[in-house]
Structure formats: structure tokens, C-alpha cells
Amino acid sequence: MIELTNIEKSFPVRGRVLDDLGFSAAEGSSTAITGPSGSGKTTLLNIIGALEKPDGGRVLFRGDDITNLEPDEAARFRNRNIGYIFQNHLLLPHLNIRENIMLPLLASRHRWGSDREIADYIGLLASETGIEGVMEKYPFHISGGEAQRAAFVRALANRPALLLADEPTGSLDRNNAVLLAELLLKLNSDYGTTLIVVTHTDYVGEMMGRQLELVNGKLTSPQ
């Protein structure tokens, strides 16, 4: 589904972080990417999600080259194909949980189903993630775990083909972290959503179908 070849990325002070990197993920696969701090994991995720452009190389998504999309094209691409989960939930404080979850549907005119279908789908996800009781509450009224699960549901609202999670459990305790990781995998198996997770947490990484380590700008299998 996603294929990266000869990816190069450098920063003025940090220097080269991705060096002739190659990566691919099949449809429906789950991959964990680990590595030391500052190794470029988030950068790699941003390149996959068309949030950043590489200095060199190519990114193919289902055969389409998304390396050099114009900003508006990249936004449309992300909206339709990518779900993003951050370490900090980044819920908008002035919208309730339901509205936060619906936000991706506002970004573009694209609707994958009728309002009814969408509402049922969101309801199902909310139920599965245990946040159906806080849907009308505001982010500052719920716990961090609930907020992160809400962010998870938000990432899935548009039924993306690819889910990118950047340290999704970084701010959660172990129980919530495991719960979230299981949710990710369930989604992966139930809906066939391809999953790429950046994580420092060993048990989360081990739960994924494949683990890769980013070292010296390249992805390798961990020792």
C-alpha cells in the first residue's frame, strides 16, 4: 500500500536524519517503528502522511506518487486516506468530543456514506472504545485516556486506509496503553486499516505484526 524508496531528509542543524531509506507496508499490515530519540521517526511518519516532503526519493501510495503534492492536494489526500493519532490528543478545547470526532468530515466535502451511516459508525467506534458516555463533554472535562481514545476515534472518522500513530500511548499509563494498542490492532483486523505506529514502548511494539528500528537514517529489523 505504501512504498518509500531512497528517501533522504536533512535538517540544517541536525543534519541528515533519513539516509537512502526504503520502506513498504502491505494493505492491512501493522508495523511498529522504534528507534532512539531524534532518530527521525516522527519525520518518517510525517513523510508517509504527506505532512512533510522528503529532500529526495519517492513515496507511493497505492501506486500513486505523493512525494511532491501541492499543499491543498496533500490536505485532500490526508483527509481521505490518512488517520493521524498524536502523543498528545490535540482535541480542540472549544468543541465537545462528538464534534471533535466529526472534525475530519468537515475538512472536505467528501462523505463516505450518508449522515445516518456515519453516525452509526461513529457510535459503534465510541462504544468499542468506551467513550460513548463522554461524547457531549468537553476535552477539559475528561481524563487523558478518554481523550486519547477520542482522538483515536477521530482518526478513524473518515475510514482512512492508513492509520499513523506517533507515540499514541506515550502519555498513558500501562493499562490504557495496552487498551489503546489492542484497539489499534482490532481496527487493523476488523477493517483492514493499515497501521504504522511509532513507539518507544516495547510491549506495544511487540503487539504489532512487524517491528522495524530506525537507526542512522535507515530502517532495519531490530536485533
Partner 1 sequence: MIPSKRDIIIRSLRHHRGTLFSLSLTALLVTAVITASVLAGYSVRQTLYSKTAERLDGGAVLASSGLRFTELQLARDLQEILGVEAVPMLSLNGYAGKFETGTRAMDVNIWGVERLADMPERGEAVINRRLAEALAIEEDQFLILRFTPPSDLPSNTPFSPEKGEEGSLFLRVKRVADTVPYANFNLSVSQIIPYNIFVNLEEFGEFFPDGPKINRIVVAEHEAATADEVRRAVAALSQPGSIGLRIRPVGATGGYEVISDRVFIDSHIVSSVTSAIGTASPVLTWLANRVESDSGSTPYSFIAAVSGSSGITEPYDMVINSWMADDLQVGVDDSVTVAYYVTGRGNELVERSAHFRVSAVVPLEGVWRDSLLMPEFPGIAGARSCTEWDAGVPLDLDAIRDKDEDYWYDFGGTPKGFISYETGMGLWGNQFGPATAIRFDSHAGAAELKDDLESVADIRGYGIAVTDLLAEGVRAARGGVDFSMLFLALSIFIIASSLIMTVMIVQNHMLQRQGEVRTLSALGFNRRTIVLLFTGESAVPLAAGVLVGAAAGMLFNRVLIAALNSVWSGAVQTDTLVAHAAPLPVVAAMLPAAALALLTVVVTVRRFLAGSTLHIRPGMSGPKALPRWLLPLAAMVSVALFLAPVVTDADVTLMQFAGGAVAMIFLLLLLHAALMRGVAGRYWAFFPGRGVTPATFIAAGLFVVIATGVNRRDFSREADRRDGGTGGFTHWIETTIPVEENLNNEAVQRRRGIYADDGLLFMAMPRVDGDDASCLNLHQIATPHILGVDGELLSQRQSFSFATRMRGAPDRDIWSLLEQPAGENAIYGVLDQTVMQWGMMIKAGDTVTVTSESGEPLHVIVAGGLRSSVFQGHMLVDASHLARWFPSVAGSSVLLAESGSGDHREVAEMLSSSLDPFGPVIESTPSRLEAFYSVNNTYLSVFLLLGGIGMVLGVVGQGLNVRRGIEHRKREYALMVAAGFRLKTIRRMVMREQIFIVAAGVATGVLSAAAASAAGLIRGGELPLGLIALLVLLMVVAGVASLLLSLRTISREELTAALRGQ
Identify the CA nearest to 23 among candidates 202, 43, 83, 36: 43
Among 48, 154, 167, 194, binds partner 1 (CB under 8 A): 154
We find the least distance from the C-beta atom of residue 122 to partner 1, in angstroms, to be 9
**What is the C-alpha to C-alpha distance for residues 41 and 215, in angstroms, rounded to an integer?**
9
The yes or no reply on residue 124 touching partner 1 (CB under 8 A) is: no
- Between the alpha carbon of residue 4 and those of residues 25, 49, 71, 145, the distances in Å are 9, 12, 20, 33
SS3 content of the chain, % helix, strand, coil (to 5): 40, 25, 35
Identify the CA nearest to 1 among candidates 33, 22, 25: 25
Among 71, 175, 190, 223, binds partner 1 (CB under 8 A): 71
Identify the CA nearest to 82 among candidates 54, 120, 108: 108
The yes or no reply on residue 1 touching partner 1 (CB under 8 A) is: no
We find the least distance from the C-beta atom of residue 223 to partner 1, in angstroms, to be 29
The yes or no reply on residue 90 touching partner 1 (CB under 8 A) is: yes
**What is the C-alpha to C-alpha distance for residues 98 and 132, in angstroms, rounded to an integer?**
9
The yes or no reply on residue 68 touching partner 1 (CB under 8 A) is: no
**What is the C-alpha to C-alpha distance for residues 143 and 151, in angstroms, rounded to an integer?**
12
We find the least distance from the C-beta atom of residue 59 to partner 1, in angstroms, to be 15
The yes or no reply on residue 46 touching partner 1 (CB under 8 A) is: yes
Among 1, 60, 75, 178, binds partner 1 (CB under 8 A): 75
Stretch that binds partner 1, among 86-94, 129-137, 172-180, 193-201 (CB under 8 A): 86-94
Please give the residue ranges that form the binding site for partner 1 (CB under 8 A).
12-13, 42-43, 46, 49, 51-52, 71-72, 75-80, 82, 84, 86, 88, 90-95, 99, 102-108, 115, 118-119, 154, 158, 171
